[in-house]
Chains A and B, each alone.
Chain A
Amino acid sequence: MEVVYITIGVSIVVAILFFIAFIKSVKSGQYEDTYTPSVRMLFDDELVSEKKRKNKVNIKINNLNN
Chain B
Amino acid sequence: MEKEQFYYDNKIVKMFLWATILWGIVGMLVGLTVALLFVYPGLLEFAGADNAISWLSFGRLRPLHTNAVIFAFVGNGIFLGVYYSTQRLLKARMFNDVLSRIHFWGWQAIIVAAAITLPLGFTSTKEYAELEWPIDIAVVLIWVIFGINLIGTILKRRQRHIYVAIWFYIATVVTIAVLYIFNNLELPVTAFKSYSVYAGVQDAMVQWWYGHNAVAFFLTTPILGLMYYFVPKVANRPVYSYRLSIIHFWTLIFLYIWAGPHHLLYTALPEWAQNLGTVFSVMLIFPSWGGMINGLLTLRGAWDKVREDPVLKFFVVAITGYGMATFEGPMLSFKNVNAIGHYTDWIVGHVHIGALAWNGFMIAGIVYWLATKLWKTELYSTKLANIHFWIGTLGILFYAIPLYVAGFTQAFMWKQFNPDGTLVYGNFLETVTQVIPMYAMRAIGGTLYLTGFILLAYNVIKTAKAGSTVEDELAEAMPLKKISGQRIAGEGWHTWLERRTVLFTILTTVAILIGGLVEIVPLILVKSNIPTISSVKPYTPLELEGRDIYMREGCNNCHSQMIRPFRSEVERYGEYSKAGEFVYDHPFLWGSRRTGPDVHRIGGKYNDNWHFNHMLDPRSTSPGSIMPRYSWIIKDNLNASDIEAKMRGLVKLGVPYSEEEIKNAKQSILAQAKKIENNLRQDPEFVKNYGNSNIQNKEIVALIAYLQRLGTDIKASNKTALK
Q: Are A22 and B202 in contact (CB under 8 A)?
A: no
**Are B257 and A14 in contact, with the CB atoms below 8 A?**
yes
- A46 near B206 with CB under 8 A, answer no
A61 sits at the interface (CB 8 A): no
Which residues of A sit under 8 angstroms from B474, Cβ to Cβ? Answer: 46-47
Q: Are A42 and B198 in contact (CB under 8 A)?
A: no
CB distance from A43 to the nearest CB of B (A): 10
Do A34 and B246 touch (CB < 8 A)?
Answer: yes
Chain A, interface SS category: helix
Known contacts A1-B528, A25-B162, A46-B475, A18 near B250 by CB under 8 Å: yes
Of B130-138, B171-179, B378-386, B390-398, the one with at least 4 CB within 8 A of chain A: B171-179
Contact with A along B510-554 (1 / 0, CB 8 A): 000000000001001101100000000000000000000000000
Residue B477 CB within 8 A of the other chain? yes
Interface locus among B235-243, B593-601, B672-680: B235-243
A3, B229: Cβ atoms closer than 8 Å: no
A58 within 8 A of B: no
| Residues in chain A near residue B198, CB distance under 8 A | 3
- In whole angstroms, what is the CA distance A22 to B236 when docked? 29
Is residue A10 contacting chain B, with contact meaning CB distance below 8 A?
yes
Please state if A6 and B524 are interface contacts (CB–CB under 8 Å).
yes
Contact A1 B201 (CB under 8 A): yes
B163 contacts the other chain (Cβ, under 8 Å)?
A: yes
- Nearest chain-B residue to A45 (Cβ)? B475
Determine chain B's interface SS by DSSP, over half rule.
Answer: helix
> Quick check: A45 and B477 within 8 Å, CB to CB?
yes
Taking CB atoms, residues of chain B closer than 8 Å to A21 are: 170
Q: Mark A18-43, 1 if CB is under 8 A from B, else 0.
A: 10011001000011011111111110
How far, in angstroms, from A4 to B202 measured CA to CA in the complex?
8
State the CA gap A18–B173 with chains docked (Å).
12
User: Shortest Cβ distance from A24 into chain B, in angstroms?
Assistant: 11
**Once the chains bind, are A42 and B238 in contact (CB under 8 Å)?**
yes
Q: Using a Cβ–Cβ cut-off of 8 Å, how many residues does chain A contribute to the interface with B? A: 32
Check: A17 CB closer than 8 A to any chain B CB. Answer: yes
Task: Check if B161 sits within 8 Å of A7, measured CB to CB.
Answer: no
- Nearest Cβ on chain B to A65's Cβ, whole angstroms: 29
Q: Which residues of B contact A42 (CB under 8 A)?
A: 232-233, 236-238
Closest chain B residue, CB of each to CB of A43: B88
Chain A residues with CB under 8 Å of B163's CB are 37, 41
Contact A3 B525, beta carbon cutoff 8 Å: yes
Bound CA span A2–B476, Å = 55
Contact present for A1 and B91 (CB under 8 Å)? no
Give the contacting residue for A46; candidates B178, B201, B260, B473; CB below 8 A. Answer: B473
Bound state CA distance, A37 and B90, in angstroms? 12
Q: Contact between B202 and A2 (Cβ–Cβ < 8 Å)?
A: yes
| Chain B nearest Cβ from A4, distance in angstroms | 7
What CA separation (Å) do A18 and B445 show in the bound complex?
Answer: 40
How far, in angstroms, from A4 to B274 measured CA to CA in the complex? 12
Interface flag for B454 (CB, 8 Å): no
Residue numbers in B under 8 Å from A33 (CB-CB): 161
Q: Is B438 an interface residue (CB 8 A)?
A: no
A35 to B238, CA, bound (A): 9
- Least Cβ distance of A22 to chain B in Å? 6
Given A2-B202, A6-B521, A42-B236, answer yes or no on A34-B243 (Cβ-Cβ < 8 Å): yes
Residues of B within 8 A of A3 (CB): 198, 202-203, 205-206, 525, 528
Contacts of B691 in A (CB 8 A): none
User: Given the interface contacts A3-B205, A7-B209, A30-B161, does A18 sit within 8 Å of B171 by beta carbon?
Assistant: yes
Q: Which residue of A lies closest to B529 (CB)?
A: A2
Note all chain A residues with C-beta closer than 8 A to B175: 14
A15 at the interface (CB under 8 A from B): yes
Partner of A7, one of B206, B243, B250: B206
**Residue of A with least CB distance to B175:** A14
B 629-669 to A, binary, CB cutoff 8 A, 1 in contact else 0: 00000000000000000000000000000000000000000
Looking at A33, A34, A38, A45, which has the most chain B CB atoms within 10 Å of its CB?
A38
Q: Which one of B178, B238, B245 lies within 8 Å of A39 (CB-CB)?
A: B238
Q: Within the complex, what minimum Cβ distance (angstroms) separates A3 from chain B?
A: 4
**A45 & B201 in contact (Cβ 8 Å cutoff):** no
Residues of B within 8 A of A (CB): 5, 8, 88-89, 91, 161-164, 167, 170-171, 174-175, 178, 182, 198, 201-203, 205-206, 209, 229, 232-233, 236-239, 242-243, 245-246, 250, 253-254, 257-258, 260, 270, 273, 473-477, 521, 524-525, 527-528
Task: List A residues at the B interface (Cβ < 8 Å).
Answer: 1-7, 10-11, 14-15, 17-18, 21-22, 25, 30-31, 33-42, 44-47
Which 10 interchain pairs have the tightest Cβ spacing?
A3-B202, A38-B238, A38-B242, A34-B243, A11-B257, A34-B242, A45-B475, A47-B474, A38-B239, A7-B209
Q: List 26 A-B contacts (CB under 8 A).
A: A1-B270, A1-B528, A3-B202, A3-B525, A3-B528, A7-B209, A10-B182, A14-B257, A18-B250, A22-B250, A25-B162, A30-B161, A31-B246, A34-B242, A34-B243, A35-B238, A37-B163, A37-B164, A39-B238, A41-B88, A41-B238, A42-B236, A42-B238, A44-B88, A45-B476, A47-B476
A-B contacts besides A14-B174, A38-B239, A45-B476, 7 pairs, CB < 8 Å: A11-B209, A18-B171, A38-B245, A41-B163, A45-B475, A46-B473, A46-B475
